[in-house]
Amino acid sequence: MFTPKARGELSEALIDALRTDSVDARPALALDPTDDGDLHISLWVMYELMYRGFDDVDDDVEWNPTVLELRRSLERLFEDELRSKYAGEPLPEPFADKLAECIENHDGVSVAAFIQRDADLEQVLEFLRYKSIYHVKEADPTTWVIPRLSTGPKAAVIELQYDEYGCGDPNRLHSNMFVRGLEACGLRSEYGAYIDDVPLEVLKQNNAWSLLGLHRRLRGAALGHLAAFEATSSLPSRRIAGGMERLGLPGEMIAYYDEHVEADAVHEQLAIRTICGALVEETPSLAADVVFGAMTCLGLEDEFARRMLGEWSA
């Protein structure tokens, strides 16, 4: 993967700096983002240095201090925005039960329901292109959290991740199942293929996963985000699979969503109770961040859904 197109002055300065032999991101530090798109493509690029990197950027840049300084300045802006919008309310005991209720009662719009009943083929393919930014590296942001956990929550996260990574079978690896589905649909399947096309809302979702996963102090929020993601996946996956069957999409793509109907029904209880419930029981101070992470997941998905449904209805 090569570095993406810039979306403003800041990302242009950053990407130009990353491509040089002697990387210095300090000039970019002096710039304000042109807009949210400029901020979030910059943040996405710096996060990707921690994943698979770029063909036109030296691997050593992952830990370049000037790049990390710029990343931290943008992270503060993003985290402040998320906390102002999605902090949520403190939950009473029993925490796991109340967290499950909080997620279930979230009132958001549904892209999955539209795909099931009304979407046409081009709309579904657009949805898949946008979702590929996460699903081609599915579960990886959560893996950052594992070393930061104590025995009980750690074992539970590894159990969940073992399923996500195909139980050791490369053909069952969820990200690889999505890749095969993309290829069967005639779409590009390489990592980050559609990054230049995705809207702001997709960048924000992906950046939130990385922000929460890469910071030890945000481990509670990362697991709350995971719980909300798993708890709101099974029924939407069933609806999406139904819409794809209605439109005659290839079985490889439908199989990816069928896999999540059953798997995420199990993962929901594992994430809410065995992971988040146990985490808060042993470290009560993390309860507020668990709720923050869950509300962030739900809120950003709602932002994405409103964007897509608004464009499709227009």
Q: What is the pLDDT of residues 241-261, one digit of tens each?
A: 999 999 999 999 999 999 998
Kindly state the average pLDDT of the residues 17-36: 94
Query: 225: which 2 tokens?
Result: 């985000």
Write out pLDDT tens, residues 14-25. Answer: 999 999 989 999
C-beta separation of 233 from 171 below 8 A? no
Q: Check whether 265 has a pLDDT greater than 80.
A: no
Task: Domains for the chain: give ranges and CATH numbers.
Answer: 9-83 (no CATH), 90-313 (1.20.910.10)
Query: 270: which 2 tokens?
Result: 């594992």
Write out pLDDT tens, residues 167-196. Answer: 999 999 999 999 999 999 999 999 999 999
Write out pLDDT tens, residues 107-118. Answer: 888 999 999 999
- pLDDT (0 to 100) of residue 268: 85
CA distance 6 to 16: 9
Q: Greater confidence, 93 or 69? A: 69
Q: Check whether 96 has a pLDDT greater than 80.
A: yes
Q: What is the pTM of this model?
A: 0.96
- pLDDT (0 to 100) of residue 92: 87
Write out pLDDT tens, residues 126-162. Answer: 999 999 999 999 999 999 999 999 999 999 999 999 9
Write out pLDDT tens, residues 214-250. Answer: 999 999 999 999 999 999 998 999 999 999 999 999 9
Q: Check whether 163 has a pLDDT greater than 80.
A: yes
Write out pLDDT tens, residues 68-83. Answer: 999 999 999 999 999 9
Lowest average pLDDT, out of 94-103, 192-201, 264-273, goes to: 264-273
C-beta separation of 70 from 14 below 8 A? yes
